[in-house]
Each structure stands twice: as structure tokens, then as C-alpha cells.
Amino acid sequence: MIKLLKNLSKKDRFIILVIAALVIFSVFLDLRMPEYMSKITRLVQTEDTTMKDILTAGTHMLLCAVGSMLTIIVIGYFSSLLSANFSKVVRRKIFVKVESFGLAEIKKFKTSSLITRTTNDVTQIEMLLAMGLQLIIKAPVMAIWALYKIIGKSSELSGITAIGVVIIVITNTYIIKKVTPRFEKMQKLTDRINGVTRENLTGIRVIKAFNAERFQEKRFDRVNKDLSTTQLENQKTFAIMEPIMHFVMHFQHLGIYFVGASLITRLGIVDKINLFSNMVVFSSYGMQVIMSFLMLTMIFMVLPRARVSANRINEILDSDISVKDGEFSGETKEKGIVEFKNVSFRYPDADEDLLENISFKVNKGETIAFIGSTGSGKSTLINLIPRLYDVTSGEVLVDNKNVKEYKLRTLNNKIGYISQKPIMFNGSVKENISYGDNGRGKPTNAKIKEAIGVAQAEDFVNKMDNKYDSHIAYGGTNVSGGQKQRLSIARAIARDPEIYIFDDSFSALDYATDAKLRKELKNYTKDATVMIVAQRIGTIMNADKIVVLDKGKCVGIGTHKELLENCEVYKEIALSQLSEEELNHA
Amino acid sequence: MPRPGRMRVNEKVKDFKGTMKKLFRELDKWRVFLILCLLLSSFSALLSTIAPNRLSKVTDVISEGIKPDINRIQTISKEIYSNAMKNYMSYLNLDKDTDIINSDKSNAIVDNNTSALIEGFNKLDDKSKELILKDITIDGVIISVKDQIIFLNIINSMDDSMVTDDLLEMLDKLPESIKILIEPKMNMDKLKHRSLILAIIYILSSIFGYLEARIMAHISTNFTKKIRNNISLKINKLPLKYFDTHETGDVLSRVTNDVDTIGMQMNQSLSSLVASTTLFLGSIVMMFVTNYIMALTAIAASILGFILSFILLKVSQKYFVQRQVELGNINAHIEETFSSHKVVKTYNGEKEALDEFDRINDKLYNCNRKSQFLSGIMQPIMGFVGNFGYVAVCIVGAILVMNNKTSFGTIVAFMIYVRLFTNPLSQIAQSLTGLQATAASAERVFEFLDEDELTDERRLKGFVDKDIAKGNIEFKNVRFGYSDDKVIINDFSAKAKSGEKIAIVGPTGAGKTTMVNLLMKFYEINNGDILIDGVSIKELTRENIHDLFIMVLQDTWLFDGTIRENIKFNKKDLTDEQIWQICKIVGIDHFIKTLPGGLDSDVGDNDTISQGQKQLLTIARGMVKDAPFLILDEATSNVDTRTEELVQKAMDKLMEGRTSFIIAHRLSTIKNADLIIVMNEGEIVEQGTHEELITKKDGFYSKLYNSQFEIN
């Protein structure tokens, strides 16, 4: 919690000081108010008071009231400024941090949890600041002021006040102890709620097709029940809080009177009177002490949850990034060279290598393809180039430089990566194509048009209502899978990269479009290096080099012809798709 | 990047009252509990009105117990003096016969010459006084001669100009015997009795408060649970169209952030609103009973406050609504960015994403700040109104007293009522702001819940039993467009007979998947009809249709759960043995065995399982289902061809005697189809078997087929 509050800027800290000063002033004004009230009451009760006296006293009281009101409004202004700003800054920090994450970290936290942490958790802390800050300052000021008034007056009566305070402290500690782990659970369950709902939204077609609505609803219901039960448990615990506070407050009052009365009977006349006036003082200031604890109680309603949220946020902010940015941001002499040297890779929590000792090299303008059965590690292999993951051992070199030495921006500027699952952003076609930054400014309209043309997307884009300005819905739900793939290929083309990485990005395209696209791409980017992961022999058989992967190992490198002769795995794959005759025909 | 899709920010102030009405209608289920809460908090408020009065009675007992009995001092002094005078007179050698004087006479002497006698007596020194005086007994207490002299000296040293404190000090010097007599007596019995009543009131009030909080907790958590559940149910009732235009993140925000706000605020606001309103109304009634002019004054003063706060509510409502909207927007953007992480990173899109984030974050900051500030204003204003009311009542009261229209007592009572009256004002203000936040969130939730649902199917009479279905499907002049001006399927007619394998091929965007969506009734056709076993799908419920189909999609959707759960999905009775059998057919048994958890390994939001493996899992999930029709929509596009071959064989076996639709790009897999439908731009351009189509030299299909061998 405190760690997170260190994110407050100098200006914020100054605002806190201002708020503190104003709160003290408002406490002072508030304490004046009862004095005015009793003065007016006395005036009204005295028979020879003139109207003027009452008016004067009334005016004074109203002035004081106006002052108090204005002070509190100003405090409200500053604390809203502070808390809104704090949440803005922290939210941004989380966002920036998550953007710097590699895939490993995203996997660790899970997307749905990252979303809850960036919004819901930040809101919890914002609430604490908005509500709690004034109270946190006001409560001790009031408590100290009240204690100052009663200190050394009567040990017996102080004892009663102390008992009251002790009961409150014990209750609060008990409640916090009980409630905090539940809040932790609650935020986790909020993640789950988010997760299950997200699943339902993304898999709606599958769910409907399987008539699995009720199944999914049950899954939701379970989490929902868990969440509500935990919530209810907590609120039940909180339900004790206020009655106990009031109970303590009232019984302290009564206790002071009762004990005081018994003491009085044993005292001399003068002491009696003194004790009585002490009693009055005690009962009103003891009340103040309890009241200030009551204020803290209100904070305790929010604090445990905020603390849990703060921890969850800190987990993100403190998380080590496995992929560390490099230094190099200059120009390389060579272009378009990718080399793997004895590369092995395994996921952080896996027991076995997913890729084992892979070595190959591809030069400028060449096309290299990767083929292998499902789960052979093709996608993982090419994910190592833009450092979505880092190698476990060995080296990946781009333009004869280890990828780890590059600044990620510089490295990414060389690469046009097209993911397996096409990703579309909510925005226009144009915005989707020109997405990102390649260090050379946004592509021109002509460039975008060209890219769309090469990607064989011109036809359908032209058919859309607003052509390049047509709106693509979130997740690209209003275009088909093949169209999405072509748009995401166009996005890579518009970047003008040295190296294209296609991670099975032709799978949703029919053969004709696939063939045409690759042909035009080759013409368009004569100098670019192309790396293709594919399932279809047809897509890759003309590559300069084909790497055949089997269970994470490289079992053959060569051209189509060479591999057909000397690589059993390749031959099998080829034969599963095309007949002997068709292969020869090619 | 300006995002047109996110410009739907609704900035107008919406219907507060309407939303609250809906909210309370939803709460109707807990009416009994709510009424109970209302009663409890009214009781507790009532007790709060009684308690101060009772407490002042306790104070009275104590303050009575500390006042010395001044009247007693006078009687004592009278007694001592009369005794002294009697002895003094005999000392002055008055008639010895009058040794025993009757009381009447002696009283007369005392009366007649009192001042002279007393003066004389007082002038004597203490020694002479000692000789004259004798011990006396008052109320059983013997007061010695010495004590009498001390007492008389103290009494004589008093004068009218002395202040209370000095007086009390003198009293303290009195001899013990007299002190005993004048000592104030604390009426402990009375005190005990009154304290007990008060204690009972406090205990009852605490118990009521606790019960009320418990019930309220119950209501609010169950209410939010229900709302969350309603949203989840609603998602499955919405037409797919809805999701083409709405963002996942925004819907998510409604489930978490909005429902959260409702739960938290409602719990706090509703009960305190009830309690303070009871207190408020109660004190108004009491004020009217006491004095209507002053009651009107107090009400007039607070009306000012209410007007101010309603203006504030109106002004700030806008920001509360906006705040939740922006929260939804930022959630949507975050969801989009985080789930597109790969592209954002590799395209150096961080800055772009951040710029957009900053844009929304700034907006959120502004409405956050404003809504918070405005809601913070309410309380001090109400506090001021309370004080204002107090002063106003005092002044009006004073005028009334001066004109002899009312008594002091009334004013004093009124002061208490005014405080009781103004205290709840600021609490009401706070609750109102709380309810405001609730309304803003509730509005978004209800907006979602009120979206148009899929057409009601209860009246549909048609039914095709999956166990006896023949398996015929006929498309009759089907026409469809997502909107009227954008036709996707023009005029589609085709027939599939029982047990046939139908392949739909064509370039991307030809409308293949759309056909499947129509067949599954995900979207409703505009014109024409689709018949399943002669029954129009318009007459069949979606549930019935979905029951008839096994569907495997290109989309590799799996939920966050174990492999076993994902394969089983909504089919409950499936043994592990059966699961392994299917896994073997699909060829993922080996892969699953290598995972540390086996069938219990988690799948979902992670990357360790490749797209291809995920697709195999979805195929396994599909194979578990038993139905007369099969749809494979690019079901093997992510799987390598060798595996595909195996899967295909297994499926072919499964498909024997069943009608199947296959959408595929790999034309090799559909060569043996009974009918190949070639589509382009929403129309059927060719139909026939592979052999028939491939022979047409310039045919669409043959071009498509041969393109896979083209050398590029």
C-alpha cells in the first residue's frame, strides 16, 4: 500500500499538506460550532436578552458555518484532484508496464486478471484516497485534541475511555484479520468472473452450437456464487462493526456517568463539583475520541480491499520482465540475415525442451519455410526472432547481431510479423493497416493502397461501404477469417520490413489467393527475407530453404526436391497432401 | 488513433428516476427483507430520538446529587440559634422561675429581641459561648458545642457578595456533624434505574443496527449476484449481431466494475437513507406538535438545502454516467491491447496504444474528478443548511418569546429537535450521492439487460428428433445480408440427402461461413428457407437445431479449465476411457500423456499448447457429441496434413450414414464428397462431384484446384 503511494508526485504530496492544513482548520471551526450553539441557547434562555444579541451571535455562528462549509468544499476539491490524478497515474503505469511484458508474463498473469487489475483494482485504491484521506488526517487530529482536553483529569474516567478504545482496537484488528484474506479471494474471483464472461463472449458461436449455454451459465454461476458468498461473509463481519462502535460510544458515556456518580458520593462538596464538571468534559471528549475511531472504522471498510488491490497492482509493477531491452539502436551493415545457432527453448515451467539445438541461416532476399506436424515447435521457433520469448540456450542473430543486443524497437522495425490468429483492432481499415511504427513515419495512402493490393485485399475492401475508411469491429468480427488474414498481411507489407515472418498466416486463404498473394509479394519485396510457417506443401515448396521440424528437432534442411529424396518426414507430409502424380506434376 | 467504434459515449443525463424504479423493481424479490430493514432502522432511529432525552434525565439525577442542601443549612442555623438564645437568656439572669419557660414565651422573646440578642451573643468570645451553649441533637445527629461555635462563625462570615466557589469552600470547612446533615444525597437507586433503561435502549439499538446491517448485507450481495447472473444469462440470449458491434471489454466492465459499484453503494446508502429519513420525518412531526411556526421555519431552511442538492444531483449525474462509460471504454481498450499483445509488441504499437489509452484515461480522470468533487460538495452544504436552520429557529423563537407567543420551555425543546432534524440531512445527502453512483452503474447494466434478445421461440411448433432424423437438408432461394443494403448471399439453393458429404468451397469472402451461420440459425435469413427433414428452420428452435449438429469451427476456442473438462464440455456422462479413445482417434493422446497433469492439465489463456493442438482438442470435443449432421468449418486448417488425414479417416467413419457439410481450403480432403458446391460472392457458381467439376477446363473449381500446384 505504502509502496504504491510512493507513486505520488511532489505536487501530490504538497496537495496532501494543503489538505492536512485545511482539515485541521476545519476541525477547529467544527469545534467552535457547539460553543456558538450553547451561547445562543443561553441567550435565548436568559430573559433580558435583546434581539440584537441573538442576531449578533447568530451571525457569528453562520459565518463560522460558512467558513466550515467552504473549507470542506476546498478540501473536497483538492482530494478529488489528488485521488483522480493518482488513479490516472497508476493506471497508466500498469498499462505501460504490461506493454513492456513478454508473452511469458502475460501468460503468468492471464489477460483477464491484467484487465481487472488495471481498472477494478485501481478504482478500489482511488476510493480509499477519495474517502479516506480526509478521515485519516481528521481522525488523529480530533483524537489528539480530545485527549489533550481530558489528560490528567481523572484516572478512573481515563480508564473507562481507555477501555472503550481498547475494545475498538481489538474489534478492528479482529475484523481486518478476518476480512483481508477474503478480500484477496474476492479480487481473485473478480478475475475469474471476468475470465468466464470473456470466454463466453469470445466463444459464443461454439457455445451456441453445442447448446452449452447452460453449461457455461453454470460455470459462471459457480464463480458468481463463490464471489457472493465471500462478499456476504465480509459484509456480515462488517455488520458487527458499527453496532459495536455505537455500543462502545454509548456505554462509555454511561460508564463515565455511573462510575462518576459513585465516586462523587465519596467526595467532599468541592471535589464533587469538580468531578462533575470533569465528567461532563470526559463524556463529550471521550465521545470525540471514539468518534475519531469511528471515522477510522469507515476507512477500515475500504482499507483491506484497497490493500489487496495495492498488492495486486504491485505484483504487476514489480514483475521482472524476462525479455530485457537491449542497447543497439543504430544501422546494421548487413540486412535481411537471420541465423539460428544451436538454439534450444523450453517454457519456464516445462520439463522438456520444446526446441532442441536448431541451427540454420537465411540470407537477404531468400525465402525459408518451416514445416512439421502440429506441436513440432514451428511457431515457437519464429516467435524467438521478435523476442516474444527468449531462447533458453544458443543464439538468434539478425543481421549478424544477437537479437538481445537490439533495442526492441530497432529489432521490430526490421520485422513484419503476421501472427497465426489474425488480430484486428477496432478502427478503420486504414488505421488497421497503418498500425504501429517502423521508425520511418506512418505509411502514405499510396503505400497503404499498394499493401492492400499485394495482400489481395483490394477486391473486398473496395466493396466495403467506405472503402479504406470502413470500420473494422473489435476483433474483426465483421470480416471473415480469410479477410482478416489478408488485412494483417497488408499491415506487415505497409511496414516495409527487411524480414517477413508468416506464422501460418495463409491457412484461411484458398489456394488461388494464397498462390497469387505470395507471387505478388515476391515481386513486391525482392530484397526482403521471407520466413514462412505453413502446413501446405503447396505454400512452401518453392522456398529456397525448407526446415523440417519434428518434435522440436530439425530433421532436415534443403529444397523441396532435396527433401523429397532424403527426408522421410517431409516425404510423408508431402504425400499426405498430394498424390505421387501431383508431386511429379509440380 | 480516433476510434469510431468507441465514439458511442453517451453524454446526456439519462433517466435517474426510471433507473431507480427499475432497480427497485429488481429488488422486489427481497421486499420482505427490505421492509424488515425499514422497520429495524426506523426502530433504531426512534430509539436514537429517545436516548438523548433519557440521558439528560440521568444527568439530572447526578446534578441533583452534588448540590449541598442549602435549605437544611438554614434550618440547622435556626435550630442552633434558638437553642443558643434560650441558653443565652437564662445566662443573662432572667427570671429564675422561668427556668422552664414554655416554648411560646421563649419564642416570643427570641422573636421580639432577636436582632439585639443575636448581636449580643455574637459579640461574646468563643469561651463564653462554650459556657452558654449545650449539645443539641438534630435528626439524631449530636452536634457538640464546639461544632456549633464553628458553624456559627462560618455562617456569620458569609455575606451576600460572596461567589459560589467561595461559598462552597466555606461549606467544606463545616464541622463533620453538620456536614453529615447537609451533605447532598446521590439517589443511587434512581440513577441505577435510569441508567438501566438507557442501557436497554442502547443495547436494543445496537442489536437492531446489527440485524439491519446483516439483512442489508444479505440483500445487497444477493442482489448483485442476481444482476451478475442476469448479465451472464443475457449474453447467451443476445443475437450474434450484437457482438459484431460491441466490445468485449465494455461488457466485461459492466459485469465487474458496474455491478461492484451497485453492490457497494447500495449497501451503504440504502440503509442509512432509510434511517436518516425516519429520523428526519420523526423530528418534523415532533416539531409540528410543539410549535408550527418554528417547524415551518426549520423546514423552509432545509428546503433551501434540498433545492441546492437536487441541482447538484442533476449537474453531477452527468459525470457519474460518463465516469462509468469511460471506465467501460478504458476496459475495452485495455482488453483489446492486452489480448493483441503480440501485434502491439512486434509492430512497435506501444506508443499508439498508449496514446489512445492516455486519451481515454484523461477523459476518465476528468469525470472522475468532477463526479467526486460534486459528490463531496453535498455534505458540507447540508451541514451548513443544518446550522442555518438552527440559527433561524433560534431567532424566530426569540421573536415569538418576546411577543409572548410561546414559552422558553418550547424553545429549549425545539433546540433538541432542530439538531435531530439537521443531523440526518447530511446523511441523506451522502446517501443520495451514493445512490447517484448506483444509478449511473445500474443504468449501464439495465441498458445491457434491455438489449433486444433473440426472437422468442416458445411458440414454435416444429421439432426434429435427433434420434430418428433422416438427415435431409434443403436450401431454397436463401437470401441474406447483415443489413438490407449489404447482401452477402444472393440466391442459394441446394439439396443434401441423407448420408451425403457436401463440400462448400470458394475463395475467401464467398459466403461459405455465412451459409453455416444461417444453417445453425445464428443469423436469421431474409428471404427463402432452409428445410431440415422437410421442416423449415423458422419453425424449429435454435436449441433443437443445435442438437442436430456436430460443429467444429476454425476458431480454436477452449475455456479455462482442464483438458478433460474441455473435451467433455456440456456432456456429463463420459468416462475417461471414452475420452482417451477419442483422443487416440484425433491423435492427441500422446501429447496429453506427455503433459504433467495428463487430462487434468489446464488449457485456456496460454501459449504452451499450440493452435494446432487446440484445434485437435476442439475436434475431440465435437466428436464426443452424437448428432445426425456434421459441420466442419475449416476444422483442420491449423492441423498438419498428416494428422489431418488421420482425423479425417476417423471422421469419415463417424460420418457414415450422416449428412455432413465441410468447408475446406485443402481441396484434397474433399475430393470424395458427394456434392461440391462452389461459391463465389454469395452465389453458387458450380455444383457437382470432383470428377465432374475438374473436367470443365475453364471452370471455377478446376482453376481453384490447379492453383495449388502453380509454380510461383
pLDDT tens column, B585-609: 777 887 788 777 778 887 765 556 7
Number of domains in chain B: 3
**Is B210 inside any structural domain?**
no
CB B145 within 8 A of CB B84: no
The grid coordinates listed for A578 are 498430394
Q: 0.95 exceeded by the pTM? A: no
Residue type, B74: Q
Q: Could you list the residue range(s) of the whole structural domain that residue B479 is in?
A: 473-707
**Is B347 inside any structural domain?**
yes
pLDDT tens column, B145-196: 777 778 777 777 776 666 666 666 777 777 777 777 777 777 778 888 888 8
**Is A382 inside any structural domain?**
yes
pLDDT tens column, B201-211: 888 888 888 88
pLDDT at B6 over 50: no
pLDDT tens column, B267-319: 777 777 777 777 777 777 777 877 788 788 878 877 877 788 778 877 877 88
| B303–A contact, CB cutoff 8 A | no
pLDDT tens column, A523-539: 887 788 888 888 777 77
- Probe site for chain A from B259, B346, B521 (most A CB atoms < 10 A): B346
Residue type, B490: N
CB A97 within 8 A of CB A317: yes
pLDDT at A395 over 60: yes
Question: A with B: how many residue pairs have Cβ under 8 Å apart?
Answer: 548
Query: Does residue B493 sit in the same domain as residue B445?
Result: no
Residue type, B633: D
Domain boundary among B415, B449, B483: B449
Query: Does residue A115 sit in the same domain as residue A204?
Result: yes
Residue B3 gets which letter from DSSP? -
Alpha carbon distance A458, B358 (integer Å): 33
Window 455-494 of A: residues touching B by CB (8 A cutoff) are 459-460, 465, 471, 473-475, 477-478, 480-483, 485-486, 488, 491
* CATH of residue A280: 1.20.1560.10
Distance of CA A505 to the CA centre of its chain: 30
Domain boundary among B163, B182, B201: B182
pLDDT at B362: 92
Q: Do B380 and A73 touch (CB under 8 A)?
A: yes
**Is A141 inside any structural domain?**
yes
The grid coordinates listed for B11 are 453524454
pLDDT at B14: 60
Distance of CA B464 to the CA centre of its chain: 46
| Residue bearing the bigger pLDDT, B146 or B228 | B228
Query: Does residue B25 sit in the same domain as residue B78?
Result: no
**Is A323 inside any structural domain?**
no
Alpha carbon distance B644, B690 (integer Å): 20
> Across the strands, what pairs with B640?
none
Q: Could you list the residue range(s) of the whole structural domain that residue A547 is in?
A: 338-585
Phi, psi of B671 (to 5 degrees): -55, -35
CB B186 within 8 A of CB A261: yes
Give first-to-last CA distance, chain A, whole Å: 67
Q: Which of B696, B573, B565, B568 is nearest to B622 (CA)?
A: B568
CB A189 within 8 A of CB A230: yes
pLDDT tens column, B318-369: 888 888 888 888 888 888 888 888 788 777 778 888 888 899 999 999 988 8
As a whole number, the mean pLDDT across chain B is 77
Q: How many CA atoms lie within 13 A of B117 on its CB side?
A: 21
Q: How far is CA A252 from CA A149, A542, B52, B193, B642, in A?
A: 17, 91, 15, 18, 82
Q: Do A45 and B508 touch (CB under 8 A)?
A: no
Q: How far is CA A277 from CA B94, B168, B476, in A?
A: 54, 15, 98
> In chain B, what residues touch A438 (CB-CB under 8 Å)?
348
3-state secondary structure B178-245: HHHHHCCCCCHHHHHHHHHHHHHHHHHHHHHHHHHHHHHHHHHHHHHHHHHHHHHHHHHHCCHHHHHH
Distance from A85 to chain B by nearest Cα, in Å?
7
Residue type, A367: T
Query: Does residue A13 sit in the same domain as residue A109?
Result: yes
> In chain B, what residues touch A552 (CB-CB under 8 Å)?
none
Query: Does residue A144 sit in the same domain as residue A254?
Result: yes
pLDDT at B13: 44
Mean pLDDT over B429-457 rounds to: 80
Residue A338 gets which letter from DSSP? E
pLDDT at B443 over 80: yes
Mean pLDDT over B528-533 rounds to: 87
Alpha carbon distance B341, B352 (integer Å): 13
pLDDT at A8 over 70: yes
Alpha carbon distance A282, A153 (integer Å): 9
pLDDT at B55 over 80: no
Phi, psi of A339 (to 5 degrees): -135, 135
* CATH of residue A433: 3.40.50.300
pLDDT confidence bin for B509, thresholds 50/70/90 = low
Query: Does residue A218 sit in the same domain as residue A108?
Result: yes
Query: Does residue B24 sit in the same domain as residue B117?
Result: no
pLDDT confidence bin for B638, thresholds 50/70/90 = low
Alpha carbon distance A546, A369 (integer Å): 5
| A98–B contact, CB cutoff 8 A | yes
> In chain B, what residues touch A483 (CB-CB under 8 Å)?
508-509
* CATH of residue B656: 3.40.50.300
Exposed e or buried b per residue across B575-606, where buried means at least 16 C-beta atoms within 10 angstroms of its C-beta: eeeebbebbebbbbbebbeebeeebeebbbbe
Question: B372 to chain A: nearest residue by CA?
Answer: A80
Alpha carbon distance A285, A165 (integer Å): 13
Residues with Cβ within 8 Å of A522's Cβ and at least 6 positions away in sequence, in order, are: A367, A530, B712
Distance from A152 to chain B by nearest Cα, in Å?
22
Residue type, A364: K
Q: Which of A291, A342, A250 is nearest to A553 (CA)?
A: A342
**Is A333 inside any structural domain?**
no
Exposed e or buried b per residue across A392-407, where buried means at least 16 C-beta atoms within 10 angstroms of its C-beta: bebebbbbebebbebe
**Strands B675-680 and B683-688, sheet pairing:** antiparallel
**Strands B549-552 and A355-362, sheet pairing:** unpaired
**Is B645 inside any structural domain?**
yes
Predicted interface score ipTM higher than 0.90: no
CB count, 10 Å around CB of B2? 10
Query: Does residue A433 sit in the same domain as residue A304?
Result: no
pLDDT at B401 over 80: no
Residue type, B350: E
The grid coordinates listed for A18 are 494543503
* CATH of residue B257: 1.20.1560.10
Residue A55's SS3 state is: helix
